[in-house]
Structure 1
Amino acid sequence: MAQAPNVNIHAAAHVKIANNPKFKELVSKRRAFAWLLSAIMLSIYAGFILLIAYGKAFLGTSLSGGVTTVGFPIGVGVILSAIVLTGIYVRRANTEFDELNRQILEEAR
């Protein structure tokens, strides 16, 4: 059974892309940035868990003599930090990473 001509075209483009120095740059930049943001988020979560484990009295302190404690805004901050870090990744992906990707695809044609 013979292969369709499109398969050879796609295979050639794949090899061209894989050997492109811009592709290697894109992969390394994206990987390093993702690991950095992951480490930041892991640190935030781990810090919050450690605070829960060892700072119960602090987290249980009332903010203004009412029902709301210090732990509530800190917990909200943990959630918001995940949203902010996701936004940072999306912004960089939509600018720098997409531009590199566009250049790579143009060179592969």
Structure 2
Amino acid sequence: MSSLSEPGWEALARDPQFLELVSSRRRFVAIGTAFYSAYLVAFLALLGFAKDFMSKEIAGISLALWGGFSICLLTVVMAWLYARRAGEWERMAQIVVEGAGRR
């Protein structure tokens, strides 16, 4: 495919491989966002409504602080999961690009 020519965007949007790529990414982001948001809201709810529970200490550190650490850890884990999946999405995108080049 020449760098000067425009691909057929309508045909590309109907390509089953492209639709699978978009669906896979959308599903990952939606589930990840919902999980992270629910986790954060639960943590904030515990901070607000279960102050006695969150003030208990484990290993000399309050549960509130452990919860804050867990949110930081969850962010790193989610970024790692995204990076792992990004390789798969890149391969899927390459297949779509190669298919568009043959048209």
Q: Give the TM-score normalised by structure 1.
A: 0.81
User: Is 2:94 aligned against 1:99?
Assistant: no
Higher relative contact order (CA 8 A, sep 6+): 2
Distance 2:49 2:67 in 1: 15
Code of the aligned partner of 1:48: F
Unpaired runs of 5+ residues, structure 2, are: none
Report percent identity of matched pairs.
Answer: 27
Distance 1:92 1:71 in 2: 32
Question: Which of residues 70, 76, 80 is equivalent to 2:63?
Answer: 70
User: Is 2:102 aligned against 1:82?
Assistant: no
Distance 2:58 2:95 in 1: 53
Partner residue of 1:55?
50
Question: Which of residues 14, 35, 52 is equivalent to 2:9?
Answer: 14
Code of the aligned partner of 1:17: L
Distance 1:63 1:19 in 2: 54
| Structural RMSD (CA) | 1.8
| Number of aligned residue pairs | 99
Unpaired runs of 5+ residues, structure 1, are: 1-5
- Pairs within 5 Å for 1:20-39: 20-39=15-34
> Is the partner of 2:62 in helix, strand or coil?
coil
Cα deviation 1:49-101 (Å, max 9, x = unaligned) = 1100111111112334x5x212111210011112111211121112x211110
Distance 2:37 2:81 in 1: 16
User: Is 2:41 aligned against 1:46?
Assistant: yes
Larger Rg over CA atoms: 1
